[in-house]
Structure 1
Amino acid sequence: MTTPDALLRDALAADPARPLVTYYDEATGERVELSVATFANWVAKTANLIQDELAAEPGERLALLLPAHWQSAVWLLAAFSTGLVVEVGGDAAKADLVVAGPDTLEAARACTGPRVALALRPLGGRFPTPPEGFADYAVEVPGQGDRFTPYAPVDPLAPALVTGGEELSGAEVVRRARATAGELGLGSGARVLSGRDFESWEGLAGGLLAPLATGGSTVLCRHLDRLDEGGLVKRRTDERVTHTL
């Protein structure tokens, strides 16, 4: 049995230089591409932030109130690395800690535990004025360590993800990711373009976990509806997309 964070370690060992997550915001023209090594570095820093600065413990609940974004993908893998139970779009009032974007700050205030805010600005920029009651992720994460070791190994049978009202262990997340990859016909080198959010298993698996599980990569497109058919064809061609969700 394995865990989602182990899939990232496997990808890092196999080919750290290959692209893993490419992100577009079709409303602003932003494009960010992260190699496996760069993505893993962000995950390690974020996991250190969770474990050391936020003092979160395995089994605690994280409400991830973010759109499908490269930083959302980072937080998901960091949560898996630290043994948190993460729910995208979860109820902040029932969570032990919450991570919010600029559009979900008010909903996030229902959490009585640590609150982290992401500006979601290009290149991971910080808020011009930090939101009151929140730690600014862009301020806190740069100083964290580039390597992460959990205080206790993550149990693959422990809860890791809540999606569609169902709680999955880390091992179940990996098994389902591989099954979804098979259903979609993904293999090594597959490049998946997704405009779906991460609140459903289909969006989460197709846009991140299934490509990660099979040696592929993902092109996340926020505001994909801004592209006409010609723009979508160009995006797929430019990014050498093999599968579109």
Structure 2
Amino acid sequence: MNATERTPADLLASALAADPGRPLITFYDDATGERVELSVATFANWVAKTANLLQSDLAAGPGDRVALLLPAHWQTAVWLLACASVGVCADVDGNAAAADVVVSGPDRLEEARACSGERIALSLRPLGARFPQPPAGFADYAVEVPGQGDRFVPFAPVDPEEPALIVAGAEYTAAEVVDRALGDAPDLGLTGPGSRLLSGLPYDTWRGLSAGLYAPLATGGSVVLCRNLDRLDEEALAQRVESERVTTTAR
């Protein structure tokens, strides 16, 4: 990290400049058998497209709140960094009725309808596929995002001292997210570039978000993000740790 990295978006920009081809997020869903690997460049492209959707089509900007009703998933990580890029506050598992925009997975659509602003639905199907039938009252993320631009520039510079994240009732500025992620690294076993953390933690706590995204990003490492990890027995988990060259785990 250097002195110019004050927001999660800064961390992603630095990772992209350093080594765009290296893996950043490898996602498993052990309920479906899905495996997706995203390099820094691929992840950054998804973030740019999502940030353009958020800023331009959804008219979100600094001071707005985006409720993310999503599980630990690679697309959730994209939305977290897109919010950071625009400068809006990502409210994980937040109150949809109090949000300017809500982003929901397929199992929380009724809860998300409480939002009077823009509503986006994610199918969370393998490879980011569309809903077979778009949910009434929602825009389908998989339909809306492909046509967005591959480069993103915020309308206004992101202030690192403004609220960027709410999780488990605690609010953090963008700078606090970066600082806390770096502070967590030793405890999580992240020693720098090349570290590879396997996380089976949900995204509904700071520790889950730090292990599953922010701390690996802040330290030049990568994450093997596992949803429904409890479906694996210890032998299968050990095989994954070996095959993915995992150096540390958070479960």
SS of the equivalent of 2:164 reads strand
Q: Look up the match of 1:170.
A: 174
Alignment of 1:88-237 (within 5 A): 88-186=92-190, 187-237=192-242
Separation of aligned partners in 1, 2:189 and 2:238? 20
Shift of 1:189: 1.0
Q: Look up the match of 2:55.
A: 51
Shift of 1:183: 2.3
SS of the equivalent of 2:17 reads helix
Separation of aligned partners in 2, 1:143 and 1:209? 27
Shift of 1:70: 0.4
Q: Look up the match of 1:73.
A: 77
Separation of aligned partners in 2, 1:30 and 1:167? 32
Is contact 2:100-2:116 (8 Å) kept?
A: yes
SS of the equivalent of 1:127 reads coil
Shift of 1:50: 0.2
Separation of aligned partners in 1, 2:227 and 2:203? 11
Separation of aligned partners in 1, 2:94 and 2:235? 36
Shift of 1:167: 1.1
TM score, norm. by length of structure 2: 0.96
SS of the equivalent of 1:173 reads helix
Q: Which segments of 5 or more consecutive residues in structure 2 lack a partner in the other structure?
A: none
Q: How many residues align?
A: 245
Shift of 1:174: 0.2
Q: Aligned residues: percent identity?
A: 68
Please say which of residues 189-198 and 41-50 is displaced more in the overlay: 189-198
Does 1:62 find its partner at 2:69?
no
SS of the equivalent of 2:147 reads coil
Separation of aligned partners in 2, 1:142 and 1:19? 22
Separation of aligned partners in 2, 1:50 and 1:62? 9
Q: Look up the match of 2:91.
A: 87
Separation of aligned partners in 1, 2:232 and 2:187? 27
Shift of 1:13: 0.2
Separation of aligned partners in 1, 2:62 and 2:87? 4
Q: Look up the match of 1:27.
A: 31
SS of the equivalent of 2:207 reads helix
Shift of 1:164: 2.6
Separation of aligned partners in 2, 1:183 and 1:195? 16
Root mean square deviation, CA, Å = 0.8
